[in-house]
Amino acid sequence: MSKFNVAIVGATGYTGSELVRILINHPDIHISAITSESRKGERFSDVHPQYRGIFEPTLVSIEDIPNYELDLVFLALPHGVSMDFVKENHDKDFKIVDLSGDFRLSSKGVYEAWYKKDHNFEQGFDAAVFGSPELFRKRIAEAKLVANPGCFPTSAILALSPLLKEGIIDKNHITVDSKTGVTGAGIKAKPNTHFPVVNDNFTAYGVKSHRHTIEIQEIIGKYANSEASVLFTPHLLPVDRGILSTCYTRPTRDISSEDLNKLYHEYYDNEPFVRVGDDLPNLKQVRGTNYCDLFVTYDDRTNTIISIGVIDNLVKGAAGQAVQNMNIMLGLEETAGLNITPLQP
């Protein structure tokens, strides 16, 4: 059987590196091209030295993509840049998985309000399918453009969706408290991700205004066919990768921890990359993998449901979920290339 040809547009970041790590071992995929405008002409291993002797193609320009016969293109580009590629190539034969936030939201107006950027391809919002396989698998299978979910939203959406879908919680009082590793800020150094600032420290950021707030709110509402209101606060941990989101909701009827656990098993036991557990999950249980570990319980003292989602932000929160979406779009086994054992310790 011949392999599908894919390209990775954007090689220099963590997401591009993770896509390569997964795809070079995928049985059905050949990486035909990988691009970088700032490093074109160099080898991929010059940018990411861990690939020396493993994967060393020459990086090409994004302008060279039309020269390849491709089945699918991954866009590992910054927000506000992916839309240009989609606008110019939406009528091409290849499918697109966009790992930026350019097509995750419901409209141009919502995007511009939260991302503080102009959007130049409004019709892309109608064409794009939000790439959460556990929620929208059938639509993903038919899609030509998939908007890969954000990292924080992935952990929170999976932790919250059964509750809102079943009408168990007050849709106007949903609180998401998330912690992330530093790789979530990208590969370029910033003042707040400088080692002396991050090390032995713990900070909140994006309070009231983080763009993932609206993504979580819109998607759980869309899935449950109900409007919702989400309060989201992210925090930066002094670790390299991983996200732990703790969600607090108020039940609208009598509920028990046993009821909730049964519900989550009903929703997720047939999902290959969601694991519902009886013990509190932690970052190293999913490190380097496409798993999302979930835990749910009810606190009768405060009448609060607590649901926790844990992922690796670079895998299930980015490259791994993108490959999962690719598998669905190309009609491949959904788990192909993603059977990776967590790295612990």
Q: Return the active site residues.
A: 151
Residue 332 carries which side chain, given as an amino acid letter? Answer: L
Sign of the C-alpha dihedral computed for residues 220, 224, 225 and 231 taken in this order: negative
Token duo for residue 336: 């192909």
Q: Are 45 and 55 in contact (CB under 8 A)?
A: yes
Nearest alpha-carbon partner for 145 in 166, 124, 119: 124
- Cα–Cα distance, 114 to 256 (Å, whole number): 37
Alpha helices in the chain (DSSP H): 14-23, 44-47, 82-89, 108-115, 124-127, 133-142, 151-165, 195-198, 212-224, 257-268, 320-329
Helix (H, G, I), strand (E, B) or coil at 177: strand
b/e map 144-168, b = 16+ CB within 10 Å: bbbbbbbbbbbbbbbbbbbbbbeeb
CA distances from 209 to 20, 52, 57, 70, 323 (A): 33, 41, 40, 38, 30
